[in-house]
């Protein structure tokens, strides 16, 4: 089963400490070595990073962990595949299009106004 890290805060909050723990579980201290992803709001923009590599060995995860992510809404995921191949297309969190706009959730369309 995969693992998720989510945060919803009323003020932008740094998630580096919690993200570092999740990253270690992705192939170092845990079995979740089949890809990872993180998505968060940066002001009005939605940012999303994905990698099919184990998060514990990912240059992208190291980059994210070295920079302060301050956001009110963050979701991160480490994958242990039980269906589907290990590939970038199977990493989460997925983004989607809603009402002609790309985003992370139904509220994204309201953010862009």
Tokens of 18: 């919690």
| Angstrom distance (rounded) from CA 71 to CA 59 | 22
Look up 2 and say whether it is catalytic: yes
Asked if 95 and 102 count as a contact pair (C-beta separation under 8 A), the reply is yes
All domains in the chain, ordered by first residue: 3-111 (3.60.20.10)
What tens digit of pLDDT does each residue of 52-103 get?
999 999 999 999 999 888 999 999 999 988 888 888 878 887 666 667 776 5
Catalytically annotated residue among 2, 7, 98, 109: 2
Asked if the model's pLDDT at residue 110 lies above 50, the reply is no
Per the prediction, the chain carries an average pLDDT of 83
């Amino acid at each position: 089963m995969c693992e998720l890290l989510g945060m919803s805060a009323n003020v932008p909050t740094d998630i580096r400490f919690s993200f570092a723990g999740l990253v270690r579980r992705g192939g170092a201290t845990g079995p979740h070595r089949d890809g990872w992803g993180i998505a968060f709001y940066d002001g009005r923009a939605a940012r999303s990073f994905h990698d099919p590599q184990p998060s514990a060995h990912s240059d992208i995860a190291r980059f994210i962990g070295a920079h302060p992510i301050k956001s009110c809404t963050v979701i991160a995921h480490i994958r242990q595949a039980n269906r589907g191949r290990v590939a970038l297309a199977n990493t989460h969190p997925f983004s989607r299009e809603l009402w002609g706009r790309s985003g992370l959730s139904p509220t994204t369309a309201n953010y862009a106004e």
